[in-house]
Structure 1
Amino acid sequence: MTRPIRIFINGFGRIGRTLFRQLLTEDARTRFEIVGVNDIAPLETCAYLLRYDSVYGLFPKAVETGHGWLGISTQRIPFFGSSDLRKLDLRHVDVVLECTGRAQDRATAEAGLDAGARNVLISGPSEAADTTLVIGANERELGDARIVSNASCTTNAIAPLLRSLDLGLGIERAHVTTIHCYTGSQPTVDQPGSSLERSRAAAVSMVPTTTSAADQVMGILPEFQGRLSIAAVRVPCLSVSAIDATIQVVESLDQPMKDFLREAFEGSRVIGLVEDPCVSTDFRARPESLIIALPETQTNGSRQVRLFGWYDNEWGFSARMIEMAERLTVRDA
C-alpha cells in the first residue's frame, strides 16, 4: 500500500491516547494517518489528558483545540463527540480502533462497519468479535474477519511465551500469575464492586482476583486445555505489570535455560529479554508484549522452570494493536 493506513480512534481513554501517542511518532507517521478521533468526553478535557499524562509525561508536541478538531503542531485532526458511530461517515477509514470498552455486543462492535469503515479492531476481549488474535500466538488465523479482538494485555504477554516454549521444549503443565497494576475498574476508596476483593481501595492493597486471560489464552491456544492455570493479583502500581510462571517441560533441558531463551527470542519484537536486575518503572513505554527478566530465571531439576517477565500493559498492548491494524490493511490491499 503506497498511501498511509487511515486510522480512526473511537474512545480516547488510556489505550486510545496511548495509541495516539504511538501513531504520531516519526516512524509511524510515514505508515499511518489518524483521520479522526471520537469520544463523548469534552474535547478540552481529552486534550488536557493528552497533554499531561501521569504515566508517560508531557506530550512532546503542542496540543491545541478548535471547533471540531484536535491540533498537534500544524496538524488538525477531526474530533467528534458522537455516542453512535453510525452517525459518522467512515467510508475513508481502513481500521477503526475501537477503544471505548463497550463493544461487547454485536451491534456496538459492528457500528464502525455500518458507518463505512473496512475493519474494526477492538482493544480488549469481546465475544462479539469475529475472532480474537494475538501476535506471536495465532495471528495467522486472521482469514477474512472484519471485527477482530486484540485480546487483553495479559493475554498478549502470556500466549506468545507459552506457544514458543511449547514448540521449543514441550510444556507438560504450567501455572502463571499475573501481577497487574491497578486499573480504572477498581475503586480509589472502599466501595461495593464486582467482587468482595474488587471492592477494596486499589492503591493501598494487593488484591487477589481473576483475569480474563485465563479463558482467552485457552481460546487462542486450545491445546493448553487441562495443562494451564492462570491467576491474578492487582498491585498498587500505576503502570507496568508482570507475570510469574512456573512451567514443567516435557523434555529435560540440555542447555542452560537462559541460553535457550536468548536463542529463542533474539531479535523478537514481541518478547524481549533483559539481562540486568530491574524494577517495574524501568519498563514504561517498552513496546514488547513481554520482557523476560533473565536474572529471575530459575530451574528446579531438569524439567521445572520459573520465568518472570515485565510488560507495559498499555504501551506494549497498543504497539500490538498498531501491528494488527497494519495486518488487517495489508490483507485488504
Structure 2
Amino acid sequence: MTSILEEQYQSSWQERQTLAENMQPIIGQLFRNKGIEIAIHGRPLVNASAIDIIKAHKSVALHEETKLRLRESYPFIEALSKLPLAPARIDVGKLAYRYLFKGEANGLTIEDFLNKELNTIANKAQESSSQDVVLYGFGRIGRLLARLLIERTGPSSALNLKAIVIRPGKADDLEKRASLLRRDSVHGAFNGSITIDKENNVIKANGAFIQVIYAKSPSEIDYTEYGINNALVVDNTGIWSDEEGLGQHLKSKGVSKVLLTAPAKGDIKNVVYGVNHKMIKPEDTIVSAASCTTNAITPVLKALNDKFGIKNGHVETVHSYTNDQNLIDNYHPAPRRGRSAPLNMVISTTGAAKAVAKALPELAGLLTGNAIRVPTPNVSMAIMNLNLKESTTKSDLNDYLRQISLNSDLQNQVDYTASTEIVSTDLVGSRYAGVVDSQATIVDGDRAVLYVWYDNEFGYSCQVVRVMLEMAGIEIPTLPLV
C-alpha cells in the first residue's frame, strides 16, 4: 500500500515539475518580448524557479475553494503566448480559476475567453516608447533598482538603465561596484551574468549596457555624450531632498526628470504608488517616492480608512538597522544612533506617520509615530494601533484585507499572510510595499492593532520602479482587477 502511494506521489510530482519547467521559457519570452508579466493569484512567476511556480499554484488553495493544478493553468499560459497583447501584468491563476471553477467559460474556448477578459490590451500594437534611466548613487537601493531594471531588459523594455553615477574612486572601483551588484549578503547572488569593460567604464549585465560615470556633482555631467537623452535620474544618495538641491540634475544635459528615493521637503510631491500616483502630471520634473515605511503603511491605512474610517492612531516601526548607523559605538550627530547597530535596539524617530498625510490628506493630524532600530539587516515591521470609526471583528477585518490583497487597486502593494510561523527573513525579496500578518491582528470593537511586515529595501525598490513608470507615462495595467 505504501509503495503504491509513494509511486503515485512521485508520479504526480514529476508531472508538476515537468509542467513548471515547460512554463518557464514561455513566461520568460512573454516578459522579454511582449512585456507581459505572469502571476498566479498575485505571486509573480517572472524569473521564478520551477519549485517557485509549483508553490505559487499551491498557494491558490489558501484563497479559493479548491486548488489550481499546473496542468490546468498551462493551457492558459500557452494561449497567452499566441495572442497579440500590449504590456500588462496578467494573473493567469485568477483567469484560469474563473474559467474552470466559477462557471465563466460560457462555452468559450480558452483563447476566446482570454480575448474577452483581456480586451483592453488584446489586438493592440505594442507601445515602442521607452525611458532612459540614470541611477545617481549606487548604494543599497541603487543596486536593487539596478537588479530590477536589468531584469526588465529586452525588446519590450519600458525602462532602460543607461548609466549609474558615483563619486570618483580608486583604480579597482569598477570591479568593486560590479562585485557588489553580483553578490549581496541579504538578497543573494545576482541572477545572471555580469562582466565589465574597464576601458570604457561599462558594466554589462544580462544584455544591459550600463555606463559608469564618475562625478562629484551633477554639474560635471553631460549625459548626451553617452547617448543618453531625456533621462529620468533616480537620486539614491540622500544628499538632497529639496527642489534647489535636486534641481541640479535638471541642469545636466540629457536630463528631463528626477525621482528621489527618500522623503522630500517643500512642495515636491511625495508619492506612494497605488495610493496617490495619479497626482503625478506630465509637467512634474521632480518627484519623491517617499520612504519605505510610508510606502508600507499608507496602502493598508487607505484600505482601512475606506472601509471602517480611522479616528486616530499610533504607528510604531520596528526597523532593521541602516547604513547611517555605526557598526560599533562611535560618534553620530543623531541621538542614540552612534551606538552599535548590530548589538542594540535603538529608539529613534520616524516621520512616516506624518508623511502619510502627504499621500492620504484625510489622515492629516490623526497619526503619531516612532521607531525602534533593531539588530537585523533587512525586513522591518510596522505596528499600527488604530481607533476606528466603526466596530468590527478580527475575522471580518482580516477577510477584508485579504480581499484587498487579491482583488483591488492595491493588490500590487498589499500582501497578506495567514502563516503562524512566518518571521522576518521569510519576507526578504517581497515585491509588495507591505505584508499584513493576519495571525497577529488584534480587534476589540472599534480598536484594532495590525502588524505589517515590509522588505524595506526590495519591496520599497519595487514601489520606486512603479513610480518611475508613472513618471515616464508608461502604463502597465494589472488584469484582471478582480
* CA distance in 2 between partners of 1:192 and 1:215 (Å): 28
1:198 Cα deviation after fit? 1.3
Q: Is the 2:311–2:388 Cα contact (8 Å) retained in structure 1? A: yes
* CA distance in 2 between partners of 1:76 and 1:229 (Å): 45
1:220 Cα deviation after fit? 2.8
1:39 and 2:159 are equivalent in the alignment: no
Tell me the residue number matched to 1:184. 323
Tell me the residue number matched to 1:58. 189
Tell me the residue number matched to 1:103. 240
1:15 Cα deviation after fit? 0.5
Tell me the residue number matched to 2:388. 249
Aligned residue for 2:390, secondary structure, equals coil
Q: Is the 1:130–1:145 Cα contact (8 Å) retained in structure 2? A: no
* CA distance in 2 between partners of 1:323 and 1:4 (Å): 14
1:213 Cα deviation after fit? 1.2
Tell me the residue number matched to 1:265. 405
Aligned residue for 1:261, secondary structure, equals helix
Gaps of 5+ in 1: none
1:128 Cα deviation after fit? 5.8
Q: 1:331 to 1:263 in 2, by over 3 A?
A: closer
1:288 Cα deviation after fit? 0.5
1:222 Cα deviation after fit? 3.2
1:69 and 2:69 are equivalent in the alignment: no
1:282 and 2:413 are equivalent in the alignment: no
1:161 Cα deviation after fit? 1.5
1:327 and 2:470 are equivalent in the alignment: yes
Quick one: percent identity of the two aligned structures?
30
Larger radius of gyration: 2
1:88 and 2:227 are equivalent in the alignment: no
Structure 1 moving runs of 4+ over 4 Å? 26-29
Tell me the residue number matched to 2:436. 292
Describe the superposition over 1:190-218 as per-residue Cα deviations: whole angstroms up to 9, x where unpaired: 12223332121100111111013133223
1:70 Cα deviation after fit? 1.1
Q: Is the 2:243–2:268 Cα contact (8 Å) retained in structure 1? A: no
* CA distance in 2 between partners of 1:257 and 1:6 (Å): 43
- TM-score (normalizing by structure 1): 0.93
* CA distance in 1 between partners of 2:133 and 2:462 (Å): 14
Tell me the residue number matched to 2:67. none
1:129 Cα deviation after fit? 6.5
Tell me the amino acid that sits aligned with residue 461 of structure 2.
Answer: S
Q: 1:308 to 1:85 in 2, by over 3 A?
A: same
More strand by share: 1
1:316 Cα deviation after fit? 0.9
Tell me the residue number matched to 1:138. 276
Q: Name which of structure 1's ranges 283-292 and 92-101 shifts more when overlaid on structure 2.
A: 92-101
Tell me the amino acid that sits aligned with residue 207 of structure 1.
Answer: V
* CA distance in 2 between partners of 1:167 and 1:257 (Å): 12
* CA distance in 2 between partners of 1:48 and 1:176 (Å): 38
Tell me the residue number matched to 1:309. 452
* CA distance in 2 between partners of 1:250 and 1:80 (Å): 53
1:204 and 2:343 are equivalent in the alignment: yes
1:10 and 2:136 are equivalent in the alignment: yes
* CA distance in 1 between partners of 2:333 and 2:355 (Å): 20
* CA distance in 2 between partners of 1:43 and 1:37 (Å): 11
* CA distance in 2 between partners of 1:80 and 1:222 (Å): 40
* CA distance in 1 between partners of 2:259 and 2:352 (Å): 18
Q: Is the 1:180–1:232 Cα contact (8 Å) retained in structure 2? A: yes
Q: Name which of structure 1's ranges 201-210 and 71-80 shifts more when overlaid on structure 2.
A: 71-80
Q: Is the 1:35–1:93 Cα contact (8 Å) retained in structure 2? A: no
Describe the superposition over 1:149-177 as per-residue Cα deviations: whole angstroms up to 9, x where unpaired: 11100011111211221111101111111
* CA distance in 1 between partners of 2:470 and 2:290 (Å): 16
Q: Is the 1:130–1:146 Cα contact (8 Å) retained in structure 2? A: no
Structure having greater relative contact order (Cα 8 Å, sep ≥ 6): 1
Q: Is the 1:190–1:200 Cα contact (8 Å) retained in structure 2? A: yes
* CA distance in 2 between partners of 1:314 and 1:131 (Å): 21
* CA distance in 2 between partners of 1:292 and 1:191 (Å): 36
Tell me the residue number matched to 1:23. 149
RMSD: 2.0
Q: 1:74 to 1:257 in 2, by over 3 A?
A: closer
* CA distance in 1 between partners of 2:266 and 2:442 (Å): 40
- TM-score (normalizing by structure 2): 0.65
Aligned residue for 2:384, secondary structure, equals strand
1:131 Cα deviation after fit? 1.5
Q: Is the 1:94–1:329 Cα contact (8 Å) retained in structure 2? A: no
1:240 and 2:379 are equivalent in the alignment: yes
* CA distance in 1 between partners of 2:131 and 2:382 (Å): 33
